[in-house]
C-alpha cells in the first residue's frame, strides 16, 4: 500500500462526493417512502433505470437534450408512483410485503428493459460528457456537477418543505401516527399519494443522472441496491438530508479505499460501516 | 408427524430410482435444479419462515459453502464429498457468529435484520474476492476435480446428491416444525418478548435455527460449486439469490415445512419452461406477476391457502361443551351452596374443594389466613430507570405463599414496571429479587418463567397466528413444567374449560372479544402452573358482570394453591380479593397491610385522590369510607 499523491487523493475525494451525491439522490426517495409511508420500495431502483433508458433513447435517437427529458419523465413517473401507492395502500400491505411486491415489480421492469433494449451495455453519448472544468489540478466533469447540484438542491428543498411548510408538518404528523393525524383533520391519504408521486419522480431525476454518467444494462439495477440502502440507513429514515450526507461519507470512503488500497476492496468499507451502525445505533431506523 | 416423515422418505427413495431408468440427462438436470432450490428455500425457511427473521444473507452462506468446496478441492486436493461437511461447518460458524452478534441487539428485527444480513453478504463477497487463495478475482475452475461415481452417470450422481440434500433439509425442517423447538420459533414470530416471558429461550433458539439454516445452505452451495464447475463472486454473492429464495418461500407459504418446496417447484418449472430466447422475458414477467398476486391475494402462500381451505378442521371436543364463564361460575356456586348446607363430615371428597371456595367467599374472611408465613418472593431495594426516569426507586416488599397481594397506586407509580422487572421483561437497574431462594435479577425472562413465575399483560398479547388452544399449550411446554406437546394440549383443554374458552379453542385470538382475550391471558398464564401469578390490570375495560366472573375465577385460581400478585384499579375487586395490599407512589412503597387499614390511611387517600384544596381532612376520609363501603356491597 503506497500513499497516493495529494492531487490523486483530492481527485478521489471529489469523485467520492460525486458518487455520493447520486447515492443520496437515489436514497432520498427510498428514505422518504420508508420513513414516512412505511413502504420499502425496491422498485425505486428499477424505476430509476427506466428513467435512464428513456433519457438514453430520447437523447441518442430523438436528439433531445438529456436535461429536457426531465420534462416528460417527472410527470410520467409522478403518476406511476401514485398508482403503485394506491395499490399498496388499498391492500394494506405491511412494510415487509411492500418490499416483496416491489421486488416483483423490479423483476417485471428488468425483464421489460431487457426485452426492449437487450441485455447489452448501452452508453449515452451526449455533449455534456465533453465538458470538463479545471480547478487547479482537479477536473470537474459537467454530468457529475449536474448530479451534485440536483442532489443538493432537491435534498435542501425537501428539508425546507418538511421543516417549515404546513404540508411538511402534516406529513410528519401522518408518518408518526396516521389514524390520529387523520382524526385531527389531516388528509393523510392525499398526502401519502402526493409524497409517493414525488418519490417516483425523484427516481426519474436520479435516472437521468445515471444515464449521464454511467453505462446502462438491465442487470445493473441490482448493483445499486446494497450501497444505497446503506446510505439510507446511515442517514436515518425519513430525514431528507440524511441520504445525501451518508451517501457522500460512503462515496468518499469508497473512493479513498480505491485509491489507497484496491478498487475491489471498496464495498468492505461501506458495508462494514452499515453493519456497525445497525448494531450500535439501530434506533436510527 | 410420523406420517409426513414416512412420506418424505418414501418420496426420496422413489425419486432415487429415476437416474437408473435411463431417461435423457435433460430430465435429471431439471430435477437437479428443482431439488437444489427446494433444499435452499427450505433451509432458509427454518430460521426466516418459522421465526420471522427474514434473512437476506442466504447468498453469503450458500457462497461460503461453494467457496469452501471450491478451495478445498482445487487447492488442497481434498476429495469432493469430504468438503461438504466442512462447507456446512464454515457456513454454520459464520451464521452463528453473525446471529450471536445481531440477535443481542433487540432493535435489529424485521427489515433491519434483512438489511444487516444483506450487508454481511457483500462483506463476505469482498473478502473472498480479495484473498488470492480463495478467489483473488479470477474465479475458481473445478473442471479438473475428480467426481465420485456412485451414480449411474455424472448427471445421475449430481441428481442423487441434490436429492439427498433436499430430502435431508426437508426432514430437518419437518422435525423442527413438530418439535418444541418449532413451536418456540413460531412464538418468536408472533411476539418475541411474550415468548421469552413464557419461557422460550429465544436467543438460543434463534442462533440454533440460524446455524442449522446456514449449514444446510452451505451443503447445497458445495454441491452446486461442483455442478457448475466454475465459481465467481459476481455470480454467487448476489441480491437476486436471497430474493429468489424469499420469493419461493413466500409463494409456497412460510408457516409450513412443505411451503418453500411448493414455491421452489412452481418457480423453477416456470423459469425452465421459458428459457429459450424471448420467452425468458415472459418467464421473468410471469414470476414477478405471480409474486405480486400471491402477496396481495393469498398472503399465506399457495400451500397455506390450500391448507386453510381444504385441510382437515381440528375437531372440537363434544365433551367440553362450550360453556360461557358465567355458566361455569353458576355451576360452581350451586355446588358450593350444596356442599355448604351439608354437614362437613358428609362431604364427598370430590367437592371438598368447592367447600374451600365457599369458605373464602365468606364475607368475614380473615386477612392472610390462607397465606402462610412462608415467604415466596422478597424484593429488596429494587430500582429501575429508563434513561433518567426513575420508575422504581428502591422497592422493598415480600410476597407470602398462598396469599393474594394487591398492588395499588396511582398511574405511573411503578406497579406495572415492578411486574415487568420481576418477570424479567425489563432488567432491574439495581436491587435484588429472591424467589424461593433463587436470585432473579440478571436472569433472562425465560429462566424466570422456568422458576415458576408467570404473568398476564395489561393489554392482552396473544400469539396472533396460533390458535387459542396452541396459545395456552405453549407455556406448558416452555414454563416450569416442560411437558411434551401432546400432554400440554391435553392440559390446555383443562385450562380452556377453567376459563370458559373451550368453545373457542380453534379460533384465532383476533376473533375473540376483549373479555375473552383477557381470559385467554389468564389461561395462558395458568397453563405454566406457576407458583406465583402476576396479574396486570386484568379487569380494566371489563363490564361489571364480567368483573364478577373474573373475580370468581381469581378465587378459583387461588384455591389451587397459586400465590397471586394483583395489580388493579378496580377497588371493589381489590377489596373483595386481596389478603394484603401494598400501595406504590412515585416508585416507592407508600403503605402496606390489610386492605381496610391501608385504604383509610390519609397519605394513601391523598396519593390516590390528590391533596385537599383547603387542607380539610374530612372529605378524604369520607372518600376512603366510600371505598370500604363498596366492599361491603361486593
Rounded to a whole number of angstroms, the distance from the CA of B122 to the nearest CA of chain A is 7
The Cα B299–Cα A92 span in angstroms is 12
Are the Cβ atoms of B291 and A107 closer than 8 angstroms? yes
The Cα B314–Cα B294 span in angstroms is 26
Among A100, A110, A115, A277, the residue to mutate for chain B (most B Cβ within 10 A): A100
The sheet carrying B375-386 orders its strands as B389-400, B375-386, B430-435, B438-439
Rounded to a whole number of angstroms, the distance from the CA of B126 to the nearest CA of chain A is 6
The Cα B198–Cα B612 span in angstroms is 44
> What ipTM score was computed for the predicted complex, to two decimals?
0.85
Are the Cβ atoms of A95 and B110 closer than 8 angstroms? yes
CA dihedral over B68, B70, B75, B80, signed as positive or negative: positive
The Cα A97–Cα B307 span in angstroms is 21
Partner-chain residue, chosen from B129, B240, B296, that has the shortest CB–CB distance to A91: B296
The Cα B295–Cα B283 span in angstroms is 18
> B15-44: string of b/e by CB count within 10 Å (b at 16+)?
beebbeeeeeeeebbebbbbbbbbbbbbbb
pLDDT of residue B276: 57
Q: How many CB atoms lie within 10 A of CB B605?
A: 22
Residue A250 burial class via C-beta count within 10 angstroms: exposed 0-12, middle 13-18, buried 19 and up = buried
* List of chain B residues whose C-beta atoms are within 8 Å of the C-beta of residue A285: 107, 111-112
Residue A109 predicted with pLDDT over 50 = yes
Q: Cβ distance B230 to B115 under 8 Å? A: no
Are the Cβ atoms of A278 and B243 closer than 8 angstroms? no
Coil/strand/helix, residue B178: helix
pLDDT of residue B547: 86
Mean pLDDT of chain A: 87
CA A71 from centroid of its chain's CA atoms: 19
Q: What is the 3-state secondary structure (H, E, C) of B213-224?
A: HHHHHHHHHHHH
Closest CA relative to residue B257, chosen from B307, B202, B199: B307
Coil/strand/helix, residue B533: strand
| Residue B125 sits at the chain A interface (C-beta within 8 Å) | yes
| Residue B247 sits at the chain A interface (C-beta within 8 Å) | yes
The Cα B451–Cα B336 span in angstroms is 33
For chain B, the distance separating the N- and C-terminal CA atoms, rounded to the nearest angstrom, is 51
Are the Cβ atoms of B127 and A230 closer than 8 angstroms? no
pLDDT of residue A2: 59
pLDDT of residue A169: 87
Partner-chain residue, chosen from A111, A268, A279, that has the shortest CB–CB distance to B102: A279
Q: Cβ distance B609 to B585 under 8 Å? A: no
The Cα B598–Cα B590 span in angstroms is 10
The Cα B190–Cα B624 span in angstroms is 44
CA B101 from centroid of its chain's CA atoms: 20
In Å, what is the CA distance from A128 to each residue of A52, A59, A137?
15, 11, 21
Rounded to a whole number of angstroms, the distance from the CA of A122 to the nearest CA of chain B is 19
Rounded to a whole number of angstroms, the distance from the CA of B88 to the nearest CA of chain A is 24
Coil/strand/helix, residue A206: helix
* List of chain A residues whose C-beta atoms are within 8 Å of the C-beta of residue B105: 278-279, 282
| Residue B289 sits at the chain A interface (C-beta within 8 Å) | yes
Q: Which residue has the higher pLDDT, B336 or A159?
A: A159
Are the Cβ atoms of A278 and B118 closer than 8 angstroms? no
Are the Cβ atoms of B112 and A282 closer than 8 angstroms? yes
Q: Which three cell numbers stand for residue B264?
A: 421452489
Could you give the percent of chain A with pLDDT greater than 70? 97
The residue in chain A having the minimum alpha-carbon distance to the alpha carbon of residue B241 is A222
Q: For B77, left (φ over 0), alpha (ψ -120 to 50), or beta?
A: left
Alpha helices by DSSP H, chain A: 6-37, 43-61, 70-90, 95-117, 142-164, 166-176, 178-183, 188-213, 221-235, 242-260, 266-280
Q: Which three cell numbers stand for residue B150?
A: 456412485
Closest CA relative to residue B15, chosen from B198, B172, B151: B151
In Å, what is the CA distance from B553 to each residue of B432, B503, B559, B623?
32, 17, 10, 29
Are the Cβ atoms of A100 and B278 closer than 8 angstroms? no
Q: Which three cell numbers stand for residue B529?
A: 402452573
| Cβ neighbours of residue B483 closer than 8 Å, sequence gap 6 or more | B476, B477, B491
Q: How many CB atoms lie within 10 A of CB B231?
A: 25
DSSP tag of A4? P
Residue with cell 461415481: B149
pLDDT of residue A77: 95
Partner-chain residue, chosen from A87, A262, A285, that has the shortest CB–CB distance to B130: A262
CA dihedral over B366, B370, B373, B378, signed as positive or negative: negative
Contact residues of A toward B, CB < 8 A: 34, 40, 87, 91, 93, 95-97, 99-101, 103-108, 110-112, 114-115, 222, 225-226, 229-230, 233, 262, 264-268, 271-272, 274-275, 278-279, 282-283, 285
* List of chain A residues whose C-beta atoms are within 8 Å of the C-beta of residue B287: 104, 107
pLDDT of residue B577: 87
Coil/strand/helix, residue B66: helix
Average pLDDT by consecutive 10-residue portion of chain B (634 residues)? 89 89 83 94 94 91 94 91 94 94 80 85 89 83 83 86 95 93 93 90 94 96 92 84 88 91 90 69 82 85 83 57 52 52 39 39 40 80 87 90 89 88 89 90 89 89 90 85 80 86 88 88 87 88 84 86 88 86 88 85 78 54 42 38
Residue A240 predicted with pLDDT over 60 = yes
The Cα B563–Cα A31 span in angstroms is 51
In Å, what is the CA distance from A141 to each residue of A138, A149, A150, B158, B449?
10, 12, 15, 53, 65
Residue with cell 460525486: A18
Q: What is the pTM of this model?
A: 0.82
* List of chain B residues whose C-beta atoms are within 8 Å of the C-beta of residue A226: 118-119, 122, 239
Pick the range with the lowest mean pLDDT from A82-96, A189-203, B281-295: B281-295
Rounded to a whole number of angstroms, the distance from the CA of A98 to the nearest CA of chain B is 9
Rounded to a whole number of angstroms, the distance from the CA of B173 to the nearest CA of chain A is 23
As a residue count, chain B comes to 634
Q: Cβ distance A103 to B243 under 8 Å? A: yes
**Interface size between A and B, measured as CB pairs under 8 A:** 123
pLDDT of residue A285: 47
Among A41, A225, A234, A271, the residue to mutate for chain B (most B Cβ within 10 A): A271
Q: Which residue has the higher pLDDT, B362 or A8?
A: A8
Amino acid at each position: 500500500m503506497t500513499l497516493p499523491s495529494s492531487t490523486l487523493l483530492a481527485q478521489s475525494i471529489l469523485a467520492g462526493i460525486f458518487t455520493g451525491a447520486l447515492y443520496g439522490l437515489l436514497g432520498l426517495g427510498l428514505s422518504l417512502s420508508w420513513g414516512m409511508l412505511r413502504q420499502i420500495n425496491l422498485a425505486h431502483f428499477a424505476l430509476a433505470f427506466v428513467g435512464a433508458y428513456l433519457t438514453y433513447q430520447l437523447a441518442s435517437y430523438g436528439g433531445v437534450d438529456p436535461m429536457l427529458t426531465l420534462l416528460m419523465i417527472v410527470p410520467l413517473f409522478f403518476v406511476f408512483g401514485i398508482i403503485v401507492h394506491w395499490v399498496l395502500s388499498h391492500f394494506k400491505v405491511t412494510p415487509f410485503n411492500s418490499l416483496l411486491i416491489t421486488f416483483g415489480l423490479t423483476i417485471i421492469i428488468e425483464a421489460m428493459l431487457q426485452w426492449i433494449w437487450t441485455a447489452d451495455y448501452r452508453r449515452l453519448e451526449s455533449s455534456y460528457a465533453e465538458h470538463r472544468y479545471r480547478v487547479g489540478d482537479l477536473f470537474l466533469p459537467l454530468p457529475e456537477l449536474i448530479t451534485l447540484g440536483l442532489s443538493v438542491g432537491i435534498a435542501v428543498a425537501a428539508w425546507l418543505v418538511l421543516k417549515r411548510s404546513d404540508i411538511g408538518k402534516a406529513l410528519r404528523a401522518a408518518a408518526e401516527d396516521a389514524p390520529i393525524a387523520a382524526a385531527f383533520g389531516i388528509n393523510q391519504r392525499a398526502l401519502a399519494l402526493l409524497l409517493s408521486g414525488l418519490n417516483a419522480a425523484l427516481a426519474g431525476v436520479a435516472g437521468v443522472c445515471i444515464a449521464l454518467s454511467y453505462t446502462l444494462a438491465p442487470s445493473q439495477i441490482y448493483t445499486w441496491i446494497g450501497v444505497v440502502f446503506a446510505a439510507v440507513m446511515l442517514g436515518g429514515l425519513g430525514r431528507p438530508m440524511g441520504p445525501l450526507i451518508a451517501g457522500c461519507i460512503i462515496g468518499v470512503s469508497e473512493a479513498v479505499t480505491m485509491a489507497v488500497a484496491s478498487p475491489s476492496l471498496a464495498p468492505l468499507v461501506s458495508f462494514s460501516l452499515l453493519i456497525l451502525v445497525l448494531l450500535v445505533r439501530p434506533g436510527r431506523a | 408427524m410420523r406420517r409426513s416423515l414416512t412420506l418424505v422418505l418414501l418420496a426420496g427413495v422413489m425419486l432415487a430410482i429415476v437416474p437408473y431408468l435411463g431417461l435423457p440427462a435433460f430430465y435429471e438436470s431439471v430435477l437437479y435444479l428443482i431439488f437444489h432450490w427446494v433444499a435452499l428455500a427450505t433451509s432458509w425457511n427454518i430460521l426466516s419462515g418459522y421465526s420471522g427473521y427474514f434473512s437476506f444473507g442466504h447468498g453469503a452462506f450458500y457462497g461460503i459453502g461453494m467457496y469452501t468446496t471450491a478451495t478445498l478441492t482445487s487447492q488442497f486436493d481434498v476429495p469432493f464429498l469430504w468438503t461438504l461437511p466442512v462447507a456446512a461447518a464454515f457456513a454454520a460458524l459464520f451464521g452463528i457468529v453473525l446471529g450471536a452478534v445481531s440477535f443481542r441487539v433487540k432493535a435489529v428485527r424485521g427489515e433491519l435484520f434483512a438489511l444487516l444480513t444483506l450487508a454481511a453478504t457483500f462483506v463476505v463477497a469482498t473478502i473472498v474476492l480479495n484473498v488470492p487463495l480463495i478467489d483473488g478475482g479470477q474465479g475458481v475452475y473445478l473442471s479438473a476435480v475428480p467426481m465420485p461415481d456412485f451414480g449411474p452417470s455424472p448427471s445421475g450422481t449430481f441428481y442423487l446428491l441434490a436429492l439427498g440434500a433436499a430430502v435431508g433439509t426437508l426432514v430437518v425442517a419437518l422435525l423442527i416444525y413438530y418439535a418444541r423447538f418449532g413451536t418456540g420459533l413460531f412464538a418468536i414470530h408472533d411476539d418475541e418478548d411474550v415468548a421469552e416471558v413464557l419461557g422460550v429461550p429465544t436467543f438460543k433458539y434463534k442462533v440454533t435455527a440460524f446455524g442449522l439454516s446456514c449449514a444446510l445452505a452451505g451443503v447445497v452451495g458445495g454441491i452446486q460449486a461442483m455442478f457448475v464447475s466454475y465459481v465467481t463472486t459476481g455470480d454467487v454473492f448476489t441480491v437476486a439469490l436471497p430474493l429468489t429464495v424469499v420469493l419461493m418461500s413466500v409463494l409456497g407459504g412460510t408457516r409450513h415445512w412443505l411451503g418453500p418446496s411448493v414455491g421452489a417447484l412452481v418457480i423453477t418449472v416456470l423459469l425452465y419452461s421459458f428459457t429459450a430466447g424471448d420467452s425468458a422475458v415472459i418467464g421473468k414477467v410471469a414470476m414477478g406477476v405471480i409474486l405480486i398476486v400471491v402477496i396481495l391475494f393469498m398472503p399465506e402462500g399457495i400451500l397455506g391457502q390450500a391448507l386453510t381451505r381444504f385441510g382437515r378442521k381440528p375437531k372440537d371436543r363434544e365433551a367440553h361443551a362450550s360453556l360461557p364463564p358465567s355458566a361455569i361460575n353458576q355451576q360452581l356456586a350451586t355446588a358450593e351452596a350444596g356442599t355448604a348446607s351439608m354437614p362437613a363430615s358428609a362431604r364427598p371428597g370430590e367437592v371438598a374443594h368447592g367447600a374451600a371456595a365457599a369458605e373464602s367467599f365468606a364475607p368475614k374472611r380473615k386477612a392472610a389466613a390462607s397465606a402462610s408465613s412462608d415467604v415466596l418472593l422478597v424484593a429488596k431495594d429494587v430500582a429501575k430507570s429508563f434513561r433518567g426516569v426513575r420508575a422504581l426507586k428502591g422497592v422493598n416488599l415480600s410476597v407470602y405463599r398462598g396469599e393474594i397481594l394487591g398492588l395499588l397506586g396511582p398511574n405511573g407509580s411503578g406497579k406495572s414496571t415492578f411486574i415487568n422487572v420481576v418477570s424479567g421483561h425489563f432488567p432491574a437497574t439495581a436491587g435484588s429479587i429472591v424467589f424461593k431462594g433463587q436470585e432473579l435479577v440478571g436472569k433472562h425472562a425465560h429462566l424466570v418463567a422456568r422458576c415458576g413465575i408467570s404473568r398476564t399483560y395489561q393489554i392482552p398479547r396473544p400469539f396472533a397466528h396460533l390458535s387459542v388452544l396452541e396459545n395456552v399449550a405453549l407455556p406448558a411446554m416452555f414454563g416450569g413444567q416442560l411437558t411434551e406437546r401432546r400432554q400440554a394440549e391435553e392440559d390446555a383443554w383443562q385450562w380452556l374449560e377453567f376459563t370458559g374458552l373451550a368453545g373457542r379453542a380453534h379460533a384465532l385470538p383476533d376473533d375473540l372479544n376483549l373479555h375473552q382475550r383477557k381470559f385467554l391471558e389468564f389461561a395462558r398464564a395458568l397453563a405454566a402452573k406457576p407458583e406465583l401469578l402476576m396479574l396486570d390490570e386484568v379487569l380494566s375495560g371489563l363490564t361489571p358482570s364480567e368483573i364478577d366472573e373474573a373475580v370468581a375465577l381469581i378465587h378459583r385460581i387461588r384455591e389451587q394453591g397459586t400465590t397471586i400478585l394483583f395489580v388493579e384499579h378496580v377497588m371493589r375487586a381489590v377489596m373483595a380479593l386481596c389478603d394484603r395490599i401494598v400501595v406504590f407512589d412515585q416508585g416507592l412503597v407508600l403503605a402496606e397491610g390489610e386492605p381496610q387499614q391501608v385504604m383509610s390511611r390519609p397519605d394513601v387517600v391523598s396519593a390516590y385522590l390528590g391533596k385537599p384544596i383547603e387542607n380539610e381532612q374530612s372529605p378524604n376520609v369520607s372518600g376512603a369510607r366510600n371505598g370500604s363501603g363498596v366492599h361491603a356491597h361486593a
